[in-house]
Chain A
Amino acid sequence: YARNDPNFVHFNDPKWSNMWYIHCTEKNSRCRSEMNILSAWQRGYTGKNVVVTILDDGIERNHPDLAQNYDQLASYDVNGNDHDPTPRYDSSNENKHGTRCAGEVAAVANNSHCIVGIAYNARIGGIRMLDGDVTDVVEAKSLGIRPDYIDIYSASWGPDDDGKTVDGPGPLAKQAFEVGIKKGRKGLGSIFVWASGNGGRQGDHCSCDGYTNSIYTISVSSATENGNKPWYLEVCSSTLATTYSSGEFYDRKIVTTDLRQRCTDGHTGTSVSAPMVAGVIALALEANPLITWRDVQHLLVKTSSPVHLKAKDWKTNAAGYRVSHLYGFGLVDADAMVVEAKKWRSVPPQHTCTKISDRRTRYIRADQKMNTTITSTGCSGHPEQHVSYLEHVVVRVLIVHPRRGDLEINLISPSGTRSQLLAKRLFDNSNEGFRNWEFMTVHCWGERAEGQWTLEISDSPSQLRSPEVMGKLKEWTLILYGTSENPYYSNGSHHSRSRMLEIPSLGKDLKNPEPSPVSPQEEEEEEEEYNGSCNSECGDQGCDGPDADHCLNCIHFSLGNLKTGRTCVSHCPLGFFEDSSARRCRRCHRGCEKCTGRGPSECLSCRRGLFLYATESTCVESCPVGFYADDIQRQCLKCHENCMKCLRDADRCTACSEGFSLAGMTCVPECANGTFFHLEEMKCSPCHFSCSTCTGPGKEECIRCARDFLQQDWMCVPECSPGYYEGETGGFHHQMCRKCEENCLSCEGPGLTCTKCRDGYNLVSRTCIVNATCNNADEVFCEMVKSNRLCEKKLFRQFCCRTCLMAG
């Protein structure tokens, strides 16, 4: 049970109290914390070991709120082609955007600086790619940076939201998305989070943005704190979820990190929402790092909620999900996300079923609706393509039209769910139509795929148009994505099973779509009636289901416990060791990645951020003296034998062993007095005769002077030169020649002790003053000089003082 008590968690960050979208301190209607981030934190999820990167104009990596979580390996500068994503600074702070987004995700908590990031222990990187010419190559490079290392890519940008643009990823960026979801995160799929767009005031529709419209991106919308539609919000059917953001001038905005190590309480727009969801997903990935890119979308669909978000178009689809074109499935719920993620079993493989309409041109008449249908079996005859339970639905259209902005397109699913694929756009005067443009909807999520799909196109001219030029639908294709089995109650994929630990949600039931495909009672019966074959990892006692976690005993090792559920595995995963006698995977000591036993001194390798100290088989944060931390091997390696301390390499010494001394970053043997270690000859060579110890053979390379020599500036001299006097200096016992006062040719010691002046100066009261006489220094004048003590001031001493002094 996690307490939803704002006083339970407190941070010393000064803007913490302004983070209204995370916690509420006021008990009134302005109190908004339905995103339940606090509760997710209270369960212990803060984004540890999750890597998020911000694709934007750079991030200020040395910002006090980002520096600790900054991850260089998750960063790159595509604009500058180097590894430093620091933004370019200018007087208008044009490049503040990425830094603002980064803080939302992973600002460090409790460091008394600004704010607390949603995943405040996640690692954060930045890919600087918006501060220059953006091309398909730039986007493809950016989307494909370190896909095995970076878990989540957050992008708060896109094509112009001007209500007339239709644009999306080019061929390379499209491939980069596909490679990312297929190969990223070692095959689990990169997670791309996208801001849905700010073109609300221009009547823009986010379906005309190919990034938010892609099935590979999680498109995120915004709501004001009061649950209203913000002025900038764009509607479309591809939006998956929503977070709080800014609204009208009287609505509160978002506080975050800002450029030049500052904080801002003025972050706005849908740019806010993508990083917020990226942070929430980071919490979910910490709860279960093995969830795939599609699992993440399923989790958002299942856990996001309409709460108080106001829209006229909220509807319940045939799978029981409440969905809207403004907010997708609603406000994200971090707590529900981590609870569901923790017990999540991956959904079955994605199938794709495509059906193309006949190639008959259909005319779109002005002020009329044109309907066309495709009847789909969900490719039931093709097991590899069979889609029974829907996820994304894509409609590809080839439309010729004299004014694109007059078109409205709807798709009606076999279950009767209507998705608006395109709304009229007042500013879109283009006559280019839609050339194989793909519209996407998530509104049929969970519905059955088979049946008649209807595409409905309306043309309502907003300007005078020639009635003879009609729009034409030349071809359309229906692409259904989903699974052949029920994703939640499929063969071997039992979500929320009784043997899993259920953490009660905080006064809110997780969404339970109706009609529920299988009731809990049916599930019980299904378990009791199981007579199929057991998993190959099961032992001789059999099983109560087909998966490895249904085994009654294991042939190799059992992993997990009664609370989390046990499963049989052939080898224990990282963080566990194989206890052969008990046939169990037992947990290594905290910090150990591989180990031979439970003890802290039984580690074989360490978790990220720690280093193996092999001498003691322990994992340490910093290596002991005589060792350095090797980032690649993640081990403490021994410094060179001559080094006492070293940095990053065995021979980059910072302190030397006894008998050696530091020459740059190398430890060389200490030589006898009067000699030094010659690095080229690799032997002790004599110093200059004036030196007692030295760094080289020259007379200016003395460290200490030979007997009967005095140190003068950088040399050792037999006696002090004119203008110097002999004396000891504090801390040094050897004699030194120190410089006399200015303009003194010789002196007896420090201060005003001149005995001889250089040419052009006269000695007056053991001080050298410029050799000039003052011809008007009469008695009255000298009295004035004396009474004002002008001669005590260096500036005036050069003028009439000498004359006055001589005059008494």
Chain B
Amino acid sequence: TIGMIVISQSGHIVAGTSTNGATYKIPGRVGDSPIPGAGAYADSNYGAAAATGDGDIMMRFLPSFLAVEQLRLGASPEKAAKISLSRIIDKYPTFFGGIIVADKKGNIGAYCNGMEQFPFSVASADYPNSVIKYVNC
């Protein structure tokens, strides 16, 4: 799955996902990716988030919505990402997944579980040639 957040110069924030889902899924199964608030969510007043991982679990917790809600409540992107995924990890310790969060100013946070490091890709004025960053899980 790719989950992407885009913020334009004017502050227009959009988020989205594209995926072919889980391998060997039962036919008809859809994961979290196309579900608003689960796979991705955006509110130009606050920021956006996009999640990736075990969609059968993530869709039950709406991690992207929760992360944006945390931004609305004043959390940093890093803290919003951690709070959002921790809600899942508390119930599912073996959960595999990661989340990226960006606030409306373009500050970025990420959090993950079930892997050593979670890579994410960034392009901005500081990184006009996109770079890969990592967060330790």
Whether both chains belong to one complex is answered with: no
Interface positions of A (Cβ within 8 A of B): none
Q: Which residues of chain B have a CB within 8 Å of any CB of chain A?
A: none
